[in-house]
Each structure stands twice: as C-alpha cells, then as structure tokens.
Structure 1
C-alpha cells in the first residue's frame, strides 16, 4: 500500500477543516452485489449471507470552511439541492402502558412519535440539468427541530469522541483513492430511522426518429444510462432495510488533509 500526502485544495484554508452542525447516521443491510460496485478492488468486502452493512450520512452544517450547507453522503458524490418542507404533527397519547411510561420520562415521544418532521427532497444538479433523486423524511430532533433549543440537550444523549476514516476519489477529477482522518465530537442517541422514498421510473419515448437522431440519441442514452446506473445503485443503498439510526447533535467534526492510499495507474480508466 502506498501512502502519499496530497496538497490541500486552495480556498478552504489550512487543515484540519472544522464542520459544526447536526447529522443522522443510518446503517442499512445492503445486498453485497450492490455494495461491491462502490468498493475499490483493493479492498475486501465484508459480507454474510449475501449482505453487508451500508447506509448514509445526512448532515446539516451551521458552520464550515465553505459556509452553511447540507450533504447526504452516498456514492458517487455529486452537487445537489436540498428542498425542505417542515411538517407539524399533533402528538397522540398512546394507550400502551409501555409507551405511557416512556412518555412520562420524555423518551417515547422523542423516539417514536416526533412532533415535527422534515421532508427533504434531494435533487442532483449537474450543469443546467437537475434530476430528482429521492425524498428523505426525518423525524429527529437535530435535523427537524422536534423540540425547542433550550430543551434539546435533555434528549440528545451522552457526549462521545470517536475517530473515523473517510474515503473519496476515483473520479474523473481525481483518479486516486484518498483517505481522510476524521475526528468527531458530539452528543449521540438512537432515533427512529428516516424514511427514504425513491422516484418512479419515467416511461420511454417510442416516437419515430430519423437514423441520425437515433444514432445521436443512442450515444446520449449510453452516457445517461451510465450515470443513471451509478445513481440507481446509490438510491438502492438508501432504500435498503435500516437496522440502526443514530442522531449526532452538537456535532464538531475535524477533517485532516487527504493522503493517497492507492494511486491510479495512468494506463487504466477511472474505474480502476
């Protein structure tokens, strides 16, 4: 394995880069054949019975080297627009004795029936083209503000510190596989998983076309299908079965400068 430091990108200041805000980290059971498309060939995929762990990281940053922004980490990366719609629900008292007890200690409502939720429409933006990807319905206190700010710390769980590796690269802009050190300090608690819904597939156009139009459209469709295949794989990960959702409040994330883990050969394609 070759490890080599990479010159930090200009315009972002000196590393480590600090991000502050809140996030939802959701683990899913993902089919191994789906996940394998995102794993570089240098890495071995850990799987059992045809499945592995995947998921997504949905974050809302109040402060960062590039200002305020949202992100949903799923491969491949692409600029996107996040359209948010807040939904307020009237809490209904459950007849269950167990839920009644949880409500008395202030846990039942926060975990199972959040008073507010947030529908987030994720739209991929590539030049002048905008493509709707999915809708994420979040009911957590951090992202949906289900409780008033003064009472937020009562429901946000213990403070933890952890170190996580982060990978990027293998794109047309940077063919190398890059690794970042990521130090996270936050309050953490288990929450109800967010609901992810995909979008219906648009019907194909069967109108008659000239040979020239068919040839041009064939090239365009092949290029589009490659992008759609990557997009569909990402959506399939998000639509897989959730098994654990963790809410990160009072998040402070420090990201170190990237290093090259595996260089990409000049004689290979971007998928090397």
Structure 2
C-alpha cells in the first residue's frame, strides 16, 4: 500500500512535525507588567500576585522539518487560550534561514536569524567551605564538589552585516536539559 506524503503549500509535511535533539527549558517569574508589553491585547495573561511564568527554551535539533538548527525562544509569560493556556514567545532566534521561514510561515512565530556559538570548558574542582544546610548533608548543596564541563552558548542577533550580542547561557553539560543560567544583554 502506498502512503501519500501530505505537504503544505510551503513544501513542509503537514503537522505534526517531529523535532529531534536536546533542549533546556528554564522557567522563572516575570512581572506581569513587563510581560504585557510582549503579549497582544486580545490575550489574557495568566498571573498571580502580579507575576506570570516566563523563561527561555534553548534547543539544538539534529533532525527537523527545517533541517539541523539551534533555537532560543524567550518566553514572556503564560496566556489563556481556551480551553488551555500556553507560553507566549516574545522572541525566537534560530541559526538557519530555513528554520526561520518554517517558524514564521508554518507556526506563526516571530522567528529571526541569529548566530549561535558554543564552547565547552572544564570547571576546576572547588572545595566545600562548610555545610550550609540540610541538602549539604546529602551532597546536594550549591557548591560544586567534582570537576565538570561547562557549556557556554552565546547568541547574537544578525541584521544584515551587523550583529548584536543578545545573551550568554552557561549550562553544566552533565545536566543538559535540567539547569542553566540566562543573562540578557540590552
């Protein structure tokens, strides 16, 4: 039996699309007043005590409808979209023109082309100064007790021949997908 490939007008297979790779999703509280600047007026912001959940999504795709690419999604907050809620992408940066086109035309994302650079460095062993609390008794404190690799991802927005640094993200490579730190640059 022949299976016919369904394609959209842009040449991509119709959804659902499959993206394979690794990702890190970090959420944090964002002031509702800050998030509203990025969310269209027709959507209701999900908030409590003046805050919503925002954050970022960093992914490195080995296989996707748009090929191999990296993506950074900056999430302004959570919006109510009946019958459920969803994260609102304030910015989407990708390092592939094909991925940018796919995001804009097929998904409706505000995708922009950016430059991603990745560097892995070893973090030297640090001594524990003293126990700080309950978690330290189980070796789960906040200081590092063994050497590890640190992955640094730098993202720069590209506008014609001009590029501007957007952020640096540092991730312990042994917990890729579980923890990270985002620093936004103006």
Same-fold call, TM > 0.5?
yes
1:253-268 to structure 2, matched below 5 A, reads none
Per the alignment, in what secondary structure is the counterpart of residue 141 of structure 1? helix
Note if contact 1:93-1:100 (Cα within 8 Å) is conserved in structure 2.
Answer: no
Alignment match, 1:80: 114
Larger Rg: 1
Per the alignment, in what secondary structure is the counterpart of residue 134 of structure 1? strand
- Aligned alpha-carbon RMSD (Å): 2.8
Alignment match, 2:85: none
**Distance of 2:135 and 2:29 partners within structure 1:** 29
CA shift, 1:50, in A, is 2.2
CA deviations 1:118-150 (Å, max 9, x no partner) are 11111011222211111111114364xxxxxxx
Per the alignment, in what secondary structure is the counterpart of residue 44 of structure 2? coil
1:119-158 to structure 2, matched below 5 A, reads 119-141=152-174, 143=176
Select which of 106, 112, 125 maps to 1:91: 125
* Unaligned residue ranges in structure 1 (runs of 5+): 1-6, 103-107, 144-187, 200-231, 233-272
CA shift, 1:115, in A, is 0.7
Per the alignment, in what secondary structure is the counterpart of residue 18 of structure 2? strand
How many residues are treated as equivalent by the alignment? Answer: 141
CA gap of 1:100–1:69, structure 2 versus 1, over 3 A, is farther
Task: Select the structure that is richer in helix.
Answer: 1
**Distance of 2:175 and 2:71 partners within structure 1:** 14
**1:195 matches 2:170:** no
**1:32 matches 2:32:** yes
**1:101 matches 2:144:** no
CA shift, 1:28, in A, is 1.1
What TM-score, normalized to structure 2?
Answer: 0.63
**Distance of 1:19 and 1:127 partners within structure 2:** 28
Per the alignment, in what secondary structure is the counterpart of residue 120 of structure 1? strand
What TM-score, normalized to structure 1?
Answer: 0.45
**Distance of 1:26 and 1:81 partners within structure 2:** 21
CA shift, 1:112, in A, is 6.1
**Distance of 1:101 and 1:9 partners within structure 2:** 56
Alignment match, 2:20: 20
Task: Select the structure that is richer in strand.
Answer: 2
Greater relative contact order (CA < 8 Å, ≥ 6 in sequence): 1
